C-alpha cells in the first residue's frame, strides 16, 4: 500500500485517540472536591475547616485552635461516547468503573490570623478501563481501537492564610499547586495488524488565590473567592510496537497543554432563624481563557447553586441542595464528556457528636444533558455517596 495513505489512516486513528484521551478522565469535581459539595456547593460564607476548599477567608472567624476536615465520597459512574450516531452509532467507548474522591484540610487559628493547608482532587480524575468497539473489518483488514486502560488524576494542594480585619471583615491569600498525571495503555489495529501503545504523561502547575468574607449582620453574610488559571503542560514518555504510532503521538500528543481555568465564586447566606438557613452561590469558570491543544475554543461555564439547611435539634441538621451547570453553549459542538450541561440534586445530614466534632454524610445525583452532534453523542451519569468529619482541638 502507498506509504502516504498508510500514514494518513494512522493519523486519523491516533487523532481520535488524542482528542478524547483527556476528555474521558472521570468524575469532574471542579474546584470543590469535599463531601459538603454533594448537598451544598454554595459554601462561600460557611465558617468551618472544610470551607478552605470554597472560601478560605471565612476561617479567620473560627475559634482559636486547630481545625481538621477529612472526607471522601465514592462515585458510581456511567460514561458513554458514541461516534457517528447519525450513521448508526455502532462505534462506542464506555466505562462504569466506580471512583474514589478523598479530601483533607487543616486550619490553625490564632488571634486574627488563620493558616490553612488542603489536599484533594482537582478537575476530573479516575482509574478506569474503557470498553471499546471501535473496530471495523474492511478490505484493508481490521482497523480501529481495541480496549484500553486510562488512569488520569490531578492532585490539588493549597496553602495560605486569612486575616480578620474587624468583627465583620476578613481576607485570605494563598497559592495552589496541581500535579496532574495521565497514563494510557491500549491497542490499535491498522491493516489487520495490532499495535500496542503506552503513554506516561504528567504536568505541574501553580496558581494564586484570594478570598473575602463580610458579615453584613448576624443573619446575612457575603463571600467571594478568585483563583488564577493553572497552566498544565503535559510531557513524558511514549512507547509502542508501531513506529508510526510512536512518532505521531510524540509529535501531536506528548507536549500538549490542558490548563485548568481561572475560577471566580460569589456566595451569600441568610439565616431566617436559629433553625433555618438559605444559601445562594454563583461560580464562573473562565474556560475561554485556557490553552487547550487539540480541543479548539471553549466557552465559559456558569454554575448556579441553591441550598437549604434545617436544624432539627441541637444535634441533627438536614441539608438539601441543587446546582445547575451551564457549559456556555459548548454542547453545540460536543468536545468531550466534560462539556455537558447538568443538574445536581443533593441531600445531606450533619450530626454534631460533640462541641468539637461533627460527622456528615451526603448523597448527590448528577443528571447530565446528552450532547449530540452528527459525529459524536456523549452521555454521562453519576451518583455519589460520601462521609466526612470535622474536628477542633
Could you give the domains of the chain? 3-392 (2.40.160.60)
* Cβ(171)–Cβ(165) below 8 Å: yes
* Cβ(189)–Cβ(144) below 8 Å: yes
Question: Residue 113 pairs with which residues in a beta bridge?
Answer: 110, 163
Which residue would you say has higher pLDDT here, 300 or 364?
Answer: 364
Q: Which three cell numbers stand for residue 44?
A: 462561600
Q: What is the pLDDT of residues 89-136, one digit of tens each?
A: 556 667 777 777 888 899 999 999 999 999 887 765 555 566 666 666
CA atoms within a 13 Å half-sphere pointing along the CA-CB vector of 312: 10
- Give the containing element (helix H, strand E) for 70: strand 65-83
Q: What is the pLDDT of residues 371-384, one digit of tens each?
A: 666 566 777 788 88
Q: What is the pLDDT of residues 124-165, one digit of tens each?
A: 555 556 666 666 666 665 666 666 677 777 788 899 999 999
Q: What percent of the chain has pLDDT over 70?
A: 70
Q: Which three cell numbers stand for residue 81?
A: 461516547
* Cβ(34)–Cβ(164) below 8 Å: no
What pLDDT is stored for residue 12 in this prediction?
42
* Cβ(226)–Cβ(183) below 8 Å: no
What pLDDT is stored for residue 372 in this prediction?
64
Q: Which of 262, 115, 134, 118 is nearest to 187 (CA)?
A: 134
* Cβ(152)–Cβ(124) below 8 Å: yes
Q: How high does pLDDT run on average in the chain?
A: 79
Q: Which three cell numbers stand for residue 18?
A: 488524542
Which residue would you say has higher pLDDT here, 72 or 87?
Answer: 72
Q: How many CB atoms lie within 10 A of CB 332?
A: 11
Return the exposure string of 210-239: e unless at least 16 CB atoms fall within 10 Å of the residue's CB, then b.
Answer: bbbbbbeeeeebebbbbbbbbbbebeeebe
pLDDT of 16 > 50? The answer is: no
* Cβ(30)–Cβ(285) below 8 Å: yes
Q: Which of 201, 186, 144, 154 is nearest to 15 (CA)?
A: 144
Going from the C-alpha of 102 to that of each of 109, 279, 337, 379, the distances in angstroms are: 24, 24, 22, 25
What pLDDT is stored for residue 350 in this prediction?
96
Going from the C-alpha of 80 to that of each of 25, 27, 336, 370, 383, the distances in angstroms are: 12, 13, 10, 10, 15
Report the pLDDT averaged over residues 167-179: 94
Q: What is the pLDDT of residues 232-277, one digit of tens each?
A: 888 888 787 666 667 766 665 667 777 888 899 999 999 999 999 9
- Give the containing element (helix H, strand E) for 262: strand 262-271
This prediction has a pTM of 0.83
pLDDT of 223 > 60? The answer is: yes
**Distance in angstroms (rounded) separating the CA atoms of residues 31 and 303:** 12
Q: Which of 24, 255, 8 is nearest to 147 (CA)?
A: 24
Number of H helices, E strands in the chain: 2, 22
Amino acid at each position: 500500500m502507498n506509504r502516504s495513505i498508510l500514514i494518513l489512516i494512522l493519523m486519523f486513528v491516533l487523532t481520535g485517540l488524542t482528542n478524547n484521551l483527556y476528555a474521558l478522565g472521570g468524575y469532574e469535581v471542579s474546584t470543590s472536591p469535599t463531601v459538603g459539595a454533594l448537598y451544598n456547593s454554595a459554601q462561600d460564607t460557611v465558617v468551618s475547616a472544610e470551607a478552605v476548599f470554597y472560601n478560605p477567608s471565612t476561617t479567620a472567624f473560627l475559634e482559636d485552635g486547630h481545625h481538621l476536615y477529612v472526607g471522601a465520597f465514592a462515585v458510581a459512574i456511567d460514561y458513554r461516547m458514541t461516534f457517528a450516531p447519525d450513521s448508526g452509532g455502532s462505534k462506542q467507548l464506555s466505562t462504569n468503573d466506580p471512583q474514589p474522591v478523598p479530601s483533607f484540610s487543616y486550619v490553625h487559628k490564632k488571634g486574627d490570623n488563620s493558616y490553612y493547608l488542603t489536599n484533594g482532587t482537582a478537575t476530573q480524575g479516575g482509574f478506569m478501563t474503557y470498553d471499546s468497539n471501535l473496530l471495523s473489518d474492511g478490505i484493508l483488514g481490521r482497523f480501529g481501537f481495541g480496549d484500553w486502560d486510562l488512569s488520569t488524576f490531578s492532585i490539588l494542594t493549597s496553602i495560605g492564610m486569612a486575616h480578620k480585619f474587624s468583627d465583620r471583615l476578613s481576607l485570605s491569600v494563598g497559592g495552589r499547586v496541581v500535579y496532574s498525571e495521565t497514563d494510557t495503555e491500549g491497542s490499535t489495529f491498522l491493516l489487520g495488524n495490532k499495535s500496542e501503545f503506552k503513554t506516561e504523561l504528567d504536568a505541574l502547575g501553580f496558581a494564586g488565590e484570594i478570598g473575602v468574607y463580610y458579615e453584613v449582620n448576624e443573619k446575612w453574610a457575603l463571600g467571594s473567592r478568585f483563583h488564577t488559571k493553572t497552566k498544565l503542560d503535559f510531557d513524558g514518555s511514549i512507547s509502542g510496537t508501531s513506529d508510526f504510532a510512536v512518532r505521531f503521538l510524540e509529535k501531536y500528543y506528548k507536549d500538549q497543554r490542558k490548563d485548568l481555568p481561572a475560577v471566580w465564586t460569589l456566595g451569600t447566606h441568610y439565616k431566617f432563624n436559629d433553625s433555618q438557613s438559605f444559601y445562594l452561590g454563583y461560580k464562573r469558570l473562565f474556560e475561554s481563557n485556557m490553552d487547550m491543544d487539540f480541543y479548539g475554543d471553549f466557552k465559559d461555564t456558569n454554575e448556579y447553586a441553591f441550598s437549604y439547611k434545617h436544624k432539627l435539634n441541637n444535634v441533627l441538621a438536614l441539608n438539601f441542595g441543587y446546582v445547575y451547570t451551564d457549559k456556555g453553549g459548548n454542547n453545540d459542538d460536543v468536545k468531550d464528556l466534560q462539556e455537558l450541561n447538568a443538574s445536581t440534586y443533593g441531600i445531606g445530614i450533619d450530626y454534631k457528636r460533640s462541641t468539637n466534632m461533627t460527622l456528615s454524610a451526603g448523597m448527590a445525583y448528577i443528571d447530565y444533558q446528552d450532547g449530540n452532534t452528527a459525529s459524536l453523542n456523549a452521555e454521562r451519569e453519576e451518583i455519589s455517596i460520601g462521609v466526612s468529619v470535622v474536628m477542633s482541638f
